[in-house]
Amino acid sequence: MSRRYDSRTTIFSPEGRLYQVEYAMEAIGNAGSAIGILSKDGVVLVGEKKVTSKLLQTSSSTEKMYKIDDHVACAVAGIMSDANILINTARVQAQRYTYAYQEPMPVEQLVQSLCDTKQGYTQFGGLRPFGVSFLFAGWDKNFGFQLYMSDPSGNYGGWKAGAIGANNQAAQSILKQDYKDDITREEAVQLALKVLSKTMDSTSLTSEKLELAEVFLSPSGKVKYEVCSPDALNKLLVKFGVTQPATDTA
Amino acid sequence: MECVFGLVGNGFAIVVADTSAVHSILVHKSNEDKIMLLDSHKLIAASGEPGDRVQFTEYIQKNVALYHFRNGIPLTTAAAANFTRGELATALRKNPYFVNVLLAGYDKETGPSLYYIDYIATMHKVDKGAFGYGSYFSLAMMDRHYHSGMTVEEAIDLVDKCIMEIRSRLVVAPPNFVIKIVDKEGARQYAWRESVKDAPVPAA
């Protein structure tokens, strides 16, 4: 029945659905998960890496986390090549704003601008939607620390905690139970790692399979975005009792 | 012979503009308000080509309002000033606006500020500034009497001194001036200084 309404993004089905947008979200449901948690003194992003190999050059590239501007970063879930295009678009939009106003772009405006781009692909042009969901983490002087989630439809929302990618519903429900409003950044890291360890399929949790990034204010008041090093991440995993002994694979 | 000048005081900024609308040797009217309210806490005093002056300041005013509607928060004075400068700069090598602007504003976090933006998109953040032939006299008076942290009374006194100099020393001096102020309560008209009264014209 829906076969007739699948192939073009720009038509509704008789039931009022946009199948291409939904299929894009399906694609993301198979991708590595990411979790974001908003705390009093920062935003925490944790991602599950699907590409793990000793041969991967981990020092220079990240798979899940990207810096958009000095005060905004994002975690991605979905088709990586699509994500790269959108990340570049977001970076250009942020710089264009700063060029016009000589101030950092407010986080929500950046998210909204990117989502307006994504919406265009669901309404005209005949091109498929982007198969990416984002978790945006940032700070601005109007609303402090913020976390936003967006999906291929171009919808976005501000969240205290959110999950995208594989098993995101399970992760979201655990977050709902365990999140408290006055959580600190360290507690947020612990919660994020705990939730990810429960929802990830893999048998052992090591720093190879994870990426952790935090957005916070340095003592001088500048916004900092830091990706946790693998050694520090390993220590955290042990400290929070979340790592399981890794079975040696050939 | 348009005169526009302004200064920053203790928790406020004042801008003054002459109010003659002149075409060659004819004075159309002597009560033309050249200081526009950009938003609740910003003033833009403009001088230059009359058509450009109104067109450009209204364009900036509407864009500032649009930003507020779209994003739920107002632009800071610095952001508005940089936006204004950007528009002048973009138009400069195609279709320049012959308009000089003094942009004054009050922000809760940073207090009062004044921006000098000339028609070729030079921008400076200043404590005192002026445009036009009157600037020769008003800048000199302000250089002599200005100090930071002036009260409103002291600032108005200085403004009156400047107007006196312009009236007595500039060959085709404009007779009337309007004074507007912006502080934490907002932007509003402070006073007129009239030496020639026009019949009141209803606003368009």
Whether B139 shows a pLDDT value over 70: the answer reads yes
Q: Which residues of A touch B (CB under 8 A)?
A: 99-103, 106, 108-109, 141-142
Whether A7 shows a pLDDT value over 90: the answer reads no
Shortest alpha-carbon distance between residue A105 and chain B (Å): 11
Give the ipTM of the model, two decimals please.
Answer: 0.84
Residue A147's φ and ψ, nearest 5 degrees, are -130, 130
Interface residue B71 vs chain A (CB under 8 A)? yes
pLDDT digits (tens, 9 = 90+) for B10-67: 999 999 999 999 999 999 999 999 999 999 999 999 999 999 999 999 999 999 999 9
- pTM greater than 0.90 (yes/no): no
pLDDT for position A247: 45
**Sequence-distant (≥ 6) Cβ neighbours of residue A63 within 8 angstroms:** A32, A47, A49, A50, A51, A80, A211
pLDDT for position A2: 59
pLDDT for position B198: 66
pLDDT digits (tens, 9 = 90+) for B146-195: 999 999 999 999 999 999 999 999 999 999 999 999 999 999 999 999 99
**B109, A141: Cβ pair inside 8 Å?**
yes
How large a percentage of chain B has pLDDT more than 90?
95
**B79, A142: Cβ pair inside 8 Å?**
no
pLDDT digits (tens, 9 = 90+) for B97-113: 999 999 999 999 999 99
Whether A39 shows a pLDDT value over 70: the answer reads yes
Q: Most B CBs within 10 Å: which of A102, A111, A113, as the mutation test of the B interface?
A: A102
pLDDT digits (tens, 9 = 90+) for A131-182: 999 999 999 999 999 999 999 999 999 999 999 999 999 999 999 999 999 9
Q: Which chain A residues touch B71 with a CB distance below 8 Å?
A: 106, 108-109
pLDDT for position A248: 43
**A101, B109: Cβ pair inside 8 Å?**
no
pLDDT class of A55 with cuts at 50, 70, 90: confident
Angle between helices A185-199 and A168-178 (to 10 degrees): 140
Interface residue B76 vs chain A (CB under 8 A)? yes
**A103, B86: Cβ pair inside 8 Å?**
no
Q: From the list B73, B79, B109, which residue is nearest A101 (CB)?
A: B79
pLDDT digits (tens, 9 = 90+) for A77-88: 999 999 999 999
Q: Which chain A residues touch B83 with a CB distance below 8 Å?
A: 100-101
What is the rounded distance in angstroms from the CA atom of residue B193 to the CA atom of residue B14?
A: 14
Whether B76 shows a pLDDT value over 90: the answer reads yes
Contact A76, A64 (CB under 8 A): yes
pLDDT digits (tens, 9 = 90+) for A205-226: 888 889 999 999 999 999 999 9
pLDDT class of A58 with cuts at 50, 70, 90: low
A-B contacts (CB, under 8 Å): 22
pLDDT class of A59 with cuts at 50, 70, 90: low
Q: Which two tokens stand for residue B187?
A: 């932007």
Whether B89 shows a pLDDT value over 60: the answer reads yes
Distance of CA A156 to the CA centre of its chain: 12
Which residue reads 């052992």 in tokens? A204
Contact A244, A203 (CB under 8 A): yes
Residue of B26, B75, B57, B39 whose CA lies nearest to B182: B39
What is the rounded distance in angstroms from the CA atom of residue B134 to the CA atom of residue B100?
A: 13
Q: Which chain B residues touch A109 with a CB distance below 8 Å?
A: 71
Report the amino acid identity of residue A228.
C
Q: Which of the 8 DSSP states describes residue A125?
A: S
Interface residue B108 vs chain A (CB under 8 A)? no
Whether A245 shows a pLDDT value over 80: the answer reads no
**B82, A108: Cβ pair inside 8 Å?**
no
pLDDT class of A250 with cuts at 50, 70, 90: very low
**B71, A109: Cβ pair inside 8 Å?**
yes
